[in-house]
Amino acid sequence: MAKVLCVLYADPVDGQPKTYARDDLPKIDHYPGGQTLPTPKAIDFQPGALLGSVSGELGLRSFLEKAGHELVVTSDKEGPNSVFEKELVDAEVVISQPFWPAYLTAERIAKAKKLKLALTAGIGSDHVDLDAAIKHKVTVAEVTYCNSISVAEHVVMMILGLVRNYLPSHEWVRKGGWNIADCVARAYDLEAMHVGTVAAGRIGLAVLRRLKPFDVHLHYTDRHRLPAEVEKELNLTFHPTAADMAPHCDVVTINAPLHPETEGLFNDALLGKMKRGAYLVNTARAKICDRDAIVRALESGQLAGYAGDVWFPQPAPADHPWRTMPHQGMTPHISGTTLSAQARYAAGTREILEDYFAGKPIRDEYLIVDSGKLAGTGAHSYSVKK
């Protein structure tokens, strides 16, 4: 019998919804590129229900308990007296989400003597100290592709929201105003702008594809170049580094994982290379940007706008400067946890657990660390400290 410790965000303030805005989810056959959706043997939840919060339990309880395992679900994750810290000591599996990350630091991994599997119900396992996972032979897996398109849609929304000055204009309506000049004094068309992505993986490429019909000039930088036919199809300009790309773009979107190569990438120096009045959208990870440099760039007008849904730490404290900085369209970390995405990552979590408990290999595309080294998707997309 294994203890499975699952850390999820809190329920809605009024409790779990009794009804939903829509009755079903559209059907998706496979992801772009052909990867199949999660293939668990069964699911015990209704797709479209709220699964990612504590009461939703990712739909795992009956499956785990029928197999004789113990499931502990909590949102209490910070500090030595938290439920997470106390239950971690003898947990074999930890499930966490990037939206409400249970930070698995080297210290916590060292204390969790029985820990074998750190499973991310979502994408992005940087809340796990990968070096420590490698050292302690903890397998790290995530549900690759489950919410990539969800995030790409959020990126496109945020780019349009910033460029067209949507949120401040909406505020005028709520305040009872009709202040057209106030609204449009910062509003532009996206058409013909130069838009670049830092990384063109699953999310970055989906953003490029979605932006193509807006008749913009598309740029990207990545560690590996996209196939020539994709560059041609989307009329992409490749730049070897973010610093090479930045001066050419009116809009930059960050879609790279957080690892030693990308941490602190958008600092004063790189922001200073961008065009004055550029927009920056970061739904990847907060620490790819220098927090205070972003605030300075917005205040000086070097950046015309910043939006994203990733913060450090999460949840962000009430006095986090990104809550109050000017010309921003921040949301809490929500882009990858729509009800549509939850159905996929709950099913993917179940698939990974089914394989793990059956002693079967976990799908290569879900693996980040395995057998003491980066593996699968992790070997391709992540790096560790040298």
Residue 277 known to bind ligand? no
Establish whether 285 is a catalytic residue: yes
Residue nearest to ligand NDP (CB): 201
Q: Is 203 annotated to bind ligand?
A: yes
To the nearest whole angstrom, how small is the minimum distance from the Cβ of residue 45 to ligand NDP? 20
Task: Give the Cα separation of 316 and 334 in Å (integer).
Answer: 13
What's the one-letter identity of residue 25?
Answer: L
Site string (185-224) toward ligand NDP, x via CB under 6 A:
-------------xxxxxxx----------------xxxx
CB of 166 to ligand NDP, least distance (A): 19
369 binds ligand NDP (CB under 6 A): no
Active site residue 164: no
Q: Which is nearer to ligand NDP, 139 or 381 (CB)?
A: 381
DSSP 30-70: B-TTSPBPP--S---S-TTS--SBGGGGGG-HHHHHHTT-E
Q: Are strands 278-282 and 236-238 parallel, antiparallel or unpaired?
A: unpaired
Q: Which of 211, 160, 166 is nearest to 189 (CA)?
A: 160
Active site residue 147: yes
Torsion angle of C-alpha atoms 115, 121, 124, 127, degrees rounded to 10: -40
Q: Are strands 373-374 and 367-370 parallel, antiparallel or unpaired?
A: antiparallel
Residue 386 binds ligand NDP, judged by CB under 6 A: no
CA proximity to 84, closest of 159, 7, 27, 161 = 7
Pairing of strands 93-96, 117-120: parallel
**Site track for ligand NDP across 108-147, x = CB under 6 A:** --------------xxx----------------------x
Of the candidate spans 109-117, 270-278, 279-287, 318-326, the one that interacts with ligand NDP by CB under 6 A turns out to be: 279-287
Q: Where in the sequence numbering do the catalytic residues fall?
A: 147, 285, 314, 333
Residue numbers at the binding site for ligand NDP (CB under 6 A) = 98, 122-124, 147-148, 151, 198-204, 221-224, 255-258, 261-262, 283-285, 309-310, 333, 335-336, 380-381
